[in-house]
A and B are shown apart, each in its own frame.
Chain A
Amino acid sequence: MAENNNNNGDNMNNDNHQQPPSYSQLPPMASSNPQLRNYWIEQMETVSDFKNRQLPLARIKKIMKADPDVHMVSAEAPIIFAKACEMFIVDLTMRSWLKAEENKRHTLQKSDISNAVASSFTYDFLLDVVPKDESIATADPGFVAMPHPDGGGVPQYYYPPGVVMGTPMVGSGMYAPSQAWPAAAGDGEDDAEDNGGNGGGN
């Protein structure tokens, strides 16, 4: 008997044609570090052998089923997660290593991971898992307080209330009183705002 074998055109499709590498689409997790960027380009260009696993599927499935809302898990789900998780560990480790290098260290510390998580907003879901170390937060230059919101008040900031600026205006004695009062009031407001800003920053 002659049977028709269903040779689908699917076999003709090339991965690269179907899903062209999206080099320009790295906005949320883009990194200026070339090694990290190259890693992600490589991950999107090539598909490693899915049988070569670094993480145990049974454990991944167990973690998935720990969620009471999860009833059944298809066989492909842990395999896909093994790949995603492997990339996650590599990405987080590289970002953390950049933090260690910034501090001239060769040993990766927990604080490096905390800082890497805090620096990548896509990893915000980990902020509860990796609470920020207070001492590290204050030491890290990345946590500099926000600039003063009232731009107009900045000039006043350079003249503390105690400093008298009457000397240059001796010639215009009749105007001194009116100018002095607004300046004093302004200084007061600036001080209050500065205190508020500092509190927010800390």
Chain B
Amino acid sequence: MDIRFEKVDFTYQPNTPFEQRALFDIDMTIKEGSYTAIVGHTGSGKSTLLQHLNALVKPTKGVVEIGDRKIVPETDNKNLKPIRKKVGIVFQFPEAQLFEETVARDIAFGPKNFGVSEEDARKLAEKMLLQVGLDESYLERSPFELSGGQMRRVAIAGVLAMEPEILVLDEPTAGLDPQGRKEMMEMFLRLHKEEGITIVLVTHLMDDVANYANYVYVLEKGHIVKDGEPKEIFQELSWLKEKQLGVPTATEFAERLVAKGISFNSLPLTADELADQLVMLSGGHANDE
């Protein structure tokens, strides 16, 4: 299932003095099976864009096509549930959405809303809890007695339990420790690779973009200012710095080596690529994984 944006505009509180335009003329395609990253400054409209992906908001102009459903400004709020089942969103700090008495019931809440039977939802809850790295002993505990990181995992499991085709992640690792962050990102990558889930990642961490994404949209003040594969985006470091966007650590380091006179064919994005290129430069053979 693809998601396509065609000339999408969005304005908050139109026709009031508090009117604020958040998105301008957005054209964007999220292809089935892709791992798309959306980056941009705080307040560039990323979160607004993200809410269009499952029709939480409707464009004030233009069309959003989600699979075969067309969302236009006139679309009414009925029958959007099928879309929401297919597009799961993990919002920033998703632990704030937990409310049930037990972890199991909270994870099963989403599936049950979409008509899954009590029993199946329960099974899904168990499966997803393992998926996010917690064991069965957590099933009957109250979500409010867990640590912040564990609550985050439960919340994410709650979204995964809806078995979405497209998974939208809004800074899923913000506030997690390095280990938890890595585990989370690896889990999303596994879902992407093994189960073919399309992933849309909104993040400030360029290392995550370089490591995982295969397409990038750069957003600035509500406009898409650049899009392409990470390889292309991260070649123009001065442009990125001018836009106050970060650069992957490996690329940053490679750039310093360039300044010292070492030349690369193309700037490496990840530590692995950097190591390969350095080995090649020093006369060795890069090992093909």
| A complexed with B | no
Give B contacts to A, CB under 8 Å.
none
Give A contacts to B, CB under 8 Å.
none
